[in-house]
Amino acid sequence: MSRVDFCWATGAFGGDMRFRLAIQKAGLQHYFRKTAEDMDMETYFRRALPAADDDAVGRLMRWANWEKAHAMVATLRPAGELEATQVDMVALYALLVTSPDEDVAWNDLEESGLLHRSDMKHSSFEKRFSTCEKATHLSFKDFVEAVLMKYWHPLVATPSELRLLCSLGLDSLAAAKGFHLGPVYKSAYSSWRGTNGCRKLAPLDSSVVDRLHDFVEKHF
C-alpha cells in the first residue's frame, strides 16, 4: 500500500464508517504521516490484527497471494492477447509455492480455485494424471501448461504468444490450441544462425532438435 493508494482510498471511501474504523485500527494515518515508505501486506495485517499469531498472518498472506494470482490469470482470458512473458509465469507460480525449492501443492491450487484436477484432463496430461491421482504437487512446466490450457483461448496467436510457447517448450499445448510451432522454431533458428555465422555453432551432424534446444535456451 502506497501513500497514493491510501489518499485515493480515503477520498473514495472516507464516508464509510467501516472504512474509517479499519484505517483507525491499523493506524494508517499515523503511519503515512511519519514515513513516505510503502506498507507491505504483512505489515498491514500485523497492524490491523495485533492479536493474530504467525500462523494466522501466514494464512492471510497465502490468501492475499491467491487473490494476486487470480488477478494475473485474468489477463489470460479470451478477447485479448496473452499479456504475459516467461518472467510473468514464474511470478505467478511463485505466488503459489511455499518454498523456492518445492513445486506447487495441489491442496493450495484447489483451495485457491485456480486449478482443479479436472482441468488436467486434456491431451498432454490426461494419461499421466489418470494414473497419478495421488500426486501432491505440480511442476512449473505442467502448471503453466494447465493454466494456459484453462484460461487462454485465442482465435489467432500473435508472434509473441507463439514465441512464449516455444520458450517454454509447450508444443503439446500449441497443438491442442490448433497452432503449429515448427515454422516459429525454424524462422527463429534461421535468423539466429544468420547473425552468428562467425561464431561457433552447433555441429552440423547434431540433430536439429539439439540445435534448436540450444538456441531456445540461450535466446528466449
The structural domain count of the chain equals 2
60 in the same domain as 116: yes
More confident residue, 90 or 220: 90
For residue 78, the model assigns a pLDDT of 47
When mean pLDDT is compared over 12-16, 100-104, 146-150, 207-211, the highest value belongs to 146-150
79 occurs within a structural domain: yes
For residue 5, the model assigns a pLDDT of 84
120 in the same domain as 69: yes
108 occurs within a structural domain: yes
160 occurs within a structural domain: no
Tell me the average pLDDT of the chain: 78
Q: Given a cut of 80, is residue 55 above it in pLDDT?
A: yes
Last residue of a domain, one of 92, 124, 151: 151
Domain carrying residue 9? 1-51
72 in the same domain as 46: no
93 in the same domain as 44: no
62 in the same domain as 33: no
Secondary structure of the chain in HEC code, one letter for each residue: CCHHHHHHHHHHHCCCHHHHHHHHHHCHHHHHHHCCCCCCHHHHHHHHCCCCCHHHHHHHHHHHHHHHHHHHHHHHCCCCCCCCCHHHHHHHHHCCCCCCCCCEEHHHHHHHCCCCHHHHCCCCCHHHHHCCCCCCEECHHHHHHHHHHHHCCCCCCCHHHHHHHHHCCCHHHHHHCCCCCHHHHHHHHHHHHHHCCCCCCCCCCCCHHHHHHHHHHHHC
36 in the same domain as 11: yes
In this structure, of 40-44, 153-157, 177-181, 184-188, the range with the lowest mean pLDDT score is 184-188
191 occurs within a structural domain: no
Q: Given a cut of 70, is residue 132 above it in pLDDT?
A: no
45 in the same domain as 66: no
For residue 174, the model assigns a pLDDT of 85
Arithmetic mean of pLDDT, 20-27: 84
91 occurs within a structural domain: yes
Last residue of a domain, one of 135, 151, 167: 151
13 occurs within a structural domain: yes
Arithmetic mean of pLDDT, 105-110: 87
Last residue of a domain, one of 92, 117, 151: 151
